[in-house]
Amino acid sequence: MDRGPRISADDLRELLGDALYTEVVDHFDAKSADLPREFVTRQVTECLRYLYLVSRYHDRLGGLFLPVEQEIDEIWHYLILQTREYRALCEERLPGRFFIEHRSIAYEDYQQEPGREQVIEEALRWIPLYCREFGPFDEGALPHWTIVRFLHQQMDLPLADIAALQPMAKT
């Protein structure tokens, strides 16, 4: 089975448009002077991957909590404030063609809402979809996705095993 990306970082940049993409990277690069520009660029890419997944798989991921780091959420906030461009991204360029609404909640708070088992089930619902669209997680993705970093660093799961995860069957 081919595990390479179907949607590249360049494809996502094109969805956002060069001007807005550059504006977002420049804004967060200036704001995060202690981080390398490549890291900030990856943050923007992971934010766009998040939005792509929610749009493409709305029937499976709609309303779910996808545990990205706070910096990714801040990039999403910035995009939302560019109202015309954000609406066009959601409704004209992303595959689902609908406005993606925002709700912020801390991962620790979310874990208490549905319970640990549901959090695990939801994580295992989106991880295979991420790998299907963008290829397996690499080391560069770990700082941006809370649950993937936890599985890799705390549970000692190799990235290849994370990429091979299958959605949990509902009981």
pTM here is 0.88
Domain segments of the chain as ranges: 9-163
C-alpha to C-alpha distance for 41 and 156, rounded to whole angstroms: 27
Name which of 22, 40, 9, 145 is nearest 85 in CA terms.
22
d(CA 160, CA 86): 34
Q: What is the pLDDT of residue 166?
A: 83
Q: How confident is the model at residue 55 (pLDDT cuts 50, 70, 90)?
A: very high
